[in-house]
Structure 1
Amino acid sequence: MRREELVDLNAFMAVAEEQSFTRAAAKLGTSQSTLSHTIRRLEARLNVQLLTRTTRRVSPTQAGERLLSTLVPALETIADEIASLSELSEKPSGTVRITTSEHAASTLLWPALRRLLPDYPDLRVELALDAGLTDIVAERFDAGVRLEETIARDMIAVPIGPKLRLAVVGAPSYFARHPIPRTPQDLARHSCINLRFPTAGGVYAWDLEKGRRALRVRVDGQLTFNNVPMIRQAALDGFGLACVMEDQIMPYLAEGRLVRVLEDWCPPFPGYHLYYPSRRQSSAAFRLVVDALRYRG
C-alpha cells in the first residue's frame, strides 16, 4: 500500500470518528478544504461514497461502516505492536485508556495507580468515568472496569477488588416517622431515593437476594439523582431510604447517622473486574497496569 493511500484512510477514520470535517481537520493539523479533497480522492479511487454529509453532521455510509469495521481492528493491532516496542526500553511507556465507574476509580484504580505511577514516569493512564456500559472496542479503550455480571463472555476478565455488598439505609429521623421495613415488599410503603444512570437513562431497580430468592424491586419516592453522593446526603437528611454500596456508608453507620435495614437481603456478590478483548496484543505498559490492579486478597 502506498503512503498516499494510508494518509487517505487515516483522514477518513478521523472524519468518521469526529463526525465533523472541522474537528477532524483540527485533529489532523490540516485545513478543512484539504481534508475534503482527501476524502473525495479516496471515494473516487474506491468508486464508492463513504460519508454522508449534512449541514450538522457527517456520518459513514454503509460502505463507510464496512471499511471502518476492517480499518479499526487492523490499526489497533498496529498500534499494539508499536506499543509493545516499549519492552525494549528499560521502563514501559505509552498510554493506557480505561473506562470505569466513579466508585471503582476512587476505591480501587486510583489507590493502585498512586503507588505505581511514580516509578514509571513514561507511563500515562487515562481514566474515563462513565456509569454506562461503554463499548471498549468501538470507543478505542484498552480496557474497562465493571461488575463481573455485566461483562460479555468473550472478554478476558481480571478481578481487581474484593466482593461487594449493597446496603439499604435510612436516617434515624426518617425511622422516627416510618416503621422499619422487614421484607422487600414493605418498601412499597416507604419513600425511597432513586438512582438514574447518567448515560443509559434508566432508573436502578434494587437488587435484593435471600437464599435462592432474587428480587429486582422498583421503588418510588420524591427524589431521583444520577449521583450516589447526593443519594447518600438525602438519606442522611432523612428524606428516605437509599440502596448504595456498603463501603460508601460504613462511617455513617458507625456514627449512628444511618441505620441499616434488610441486611439479610443483601448478600456479598463478585466485585469489580478489569476486562479487555481476548484478541488484544498487550503492550508492556498495559500488562504493568493489569498486574498493579489485579486483586490478590
Structure 2
Amino acid sequence: MKREELGDLVAFATVAETRSFTRAAARLGASQSSLSHTIRRLEADLGIRLLARTTRNVAPTEAGERLLASLRPALQEIDGALANLSALRDKPAGLVRITTARHAAETVLWPKLARLLPDYPDVKVELSIDSALTDIVAERFDAGVRPGERVDKDMVAVRIGPDLRMAVVAAPSYLANHPPPDSPHDLTRHSCINLRLPTLGGMYAWEFEKDGRSLNVRVDGQLAFNDLPMVVQAAVAGFGLACVLEDQVVGMLADGRLVRVLEDWCPPFSGYHLYYPSRRQPTPAFALLVDALRYR
C-alpha cells in the first residue's frame, strides 16, 4: 500500500464517522475542498461509491459501511502503536480525548487534572463537553464519563467519583402557596421544571426509590430546559419544583434560597465512572490519567 493510500483511508474513515466534511476537515486539519478531492480520488481508484452525499448530510453507502467496519480496528491498532512509543520517553506523552457531561467535568475531572498536568507537560487532554451518550468508539474518543449504572457491560469501568444523589427542591415563595408533596404521586398537582434529555429529545422522568420500591414520574409545568443550571435558576425564582443533583444546590439549601422535599425518596446512586473498550491497550499517558482519576 502506498503512503498516500493510507492517508486517503484515514480521510474516508473520518468523514464516514463524523457524517460531515466540515467536522472531518476540522479534525484532520485540512480544507473541505482538499478532503472532498481525496474522497473522490479514493472512490475512483476503488471503482465504487463509498459515501452518499446530499445538501445536508453525508452517510456511508453499503460498501462504505463495510470498508469502515474493517478500517476501525486497524486504525485503532495503529493509533495505539504510535501512542505506545511514548513508553520509550522519560515521561508519558500524547493526547487523551475524553467525552463527558459538564457536571462531571467541573466536579471530578478538572480538579484532578489541574493537579496532575503541571507535572506532565507532554500529556495533552481534550475534554469534549456533551450531555449526550456519545459512541466513544465511532467518535474515536479514548474514554467517556457517565454514572456507573449507565455504562455498557462490554466496557471497562473505573470509578472516579463518590456516590451521587438527586434532590427535589423549590423556593420558599413557591412552597408558601403550594403544600409540599408527601410522595412522588403528589407531583402531578405541582408545577415542575422539566429537563429535556439531549440523547433522545424526551423529557427526563424523575426517578425515585424508597424501601426497595422504584418509581418514575413524568412531570409537567410551565418551563423546560436542556441545561441543569437554568433549571436551578428557575427554581430559585419560584417557578416550581426541580429535580437536580444534590451538590448543585447544597449552598442554596444552606442559605435558604431553596427548600428540599421528598428527601426520603432520593437515595444515593453510583457516581461517575470513566469507561473505555475492554480491548483497548492503554498507552502510558492514558494509564497515568486513569490512575490519577481513580476514586479512592
Residue in 2 aligned with 1:227? 227
Structural mapping, 1:15-164, within 5 Å: 15-17=15-17, 19=19, 27=28, 29=30, 32=33, 36=37, 38-164=38-164
| 1:104-156 residue CA offsets vs partner (Å, 9 max, x unmatched) | 11000000001011111111111111111110000110000001111110000
Shift of 1:31: 8.0
Q: Which amino acid aligns with 1:227?
A: D
Q: Distance in 1 between matches of 2:215 and 2:35?
A: 58
Q: Distance in 2 between matches of 1:150 and 1:269?
A: 11
Q: Which amino acid aligns with 1:115?
A: R
**Cα root mean square deviation, aligned:** 2.0
Shift of 1:68: 0.7
| 1:183-240 residue CA offsets vs partner (Å, 9 max, x unmatched) | 1111111111111123431110000000121011111111111111111111111110
State the secondary structure of the residue aligned to 1:215.
strand
Residue in 2 aligned with 1:2? 2
Distance 1:228 1:21, change over 3 A: closer
Residue in 1 aligned with 2:292? 292
| 1:255-295 residue CA offsets vs partner (Å, 9 max, x unmatched) | 12211111110011111100000011110010111111100
Q: Which amino acid aligns with 2:11?
A: A
Q: Distance in 1 between matches of 2:288 and 2:32?
A: 39
Distance 1:264 1:57, change over 3 A: closer
Q: Which amino acid aligns with 2:8?
A: D
Shift of 1:15: 3.8
Q: Which amino acid aligns with 2:96?
A: V
Q: Do the aligned partners of 2:18 and 2:139 also contact (CA within 8 Å) in 1?
A: no
State the secondary structure of the residue aligned to 1:168.
strand
Q: Do the aligned partners of 2:17 and 2:139 also contact (CA within 8 Å) in 1?
A: no
State the secondary structure of the residue aligned to 1:164.
coil
Residue in 2 aligned with 1:200? 200
State the secondary structure of the residue aligned to 1:156.
strand
Residue 279 (str. 1) matches residue 275 (str. 2): no
Q: Distance in 2 between matches of 1:21 and 1:100?
A: 24
State the secondary structure of the residue aligned to 2:96.
strand
Q: Do the aligned partners of 1:130 and 1:199 also contact (CA within 8 Å) in 2?
A: no
Q: Do the aligned partners of 1:25 and 1:35 also contact (CA within 8 Å) in 2?
A: no
Q: Which amino acid aligns with 1:186?
A: D
Q: Which amino acid aligns with 2:295?
A: Y
Runs of 4+ more than 6 Å apart: none
Q: Distance in 1 between matches of 2:243 and 2:143?
A: 28
Residue in 2 aligned with 1:183? 183
State the secondary structure of the residue aligned to 2:247.
helix
Q: Which amino acid aligns with 1:107?
A: T
Structural mapping, 1:231-250, within 5 Å: 231-250=231-250
Unaligned runs of 5+ in 2: none
Q: Distance in 2 between matches of 1:63 and 1:287?
A: 36
Shift of 1:41: 4.4
Residue in 2 aligned with 1:217? 217
Q: Distance in 2 between matches of 1:103 and 1:110?
A: 10
State the secondary structure of the residue aligned to 2:180.
coil
Residue range with higher mean Cα deviation, 26-35 or 259-268: 26-35
Q: Do the aligned partners of 2:17 and 2:138 also contact (CA within 8 Å) in 1?
A: no
| TM-score normalised over the length of structure 2 | 0.93
Q: Which amino acid aligns with 1:245?
A: L
Structural mapping, 1:254-273, within 5 Å: 254-273=254-273
State the secondary structure of the residue aligned to 1:260.
strand
| 1:145-179 residue CA offsets vs partner (Å, 9 max, x unmatched) | 00111111000000001111111111111111010
Distance 1:294 1:41, change over 3 A: same
Aligned residues: 295
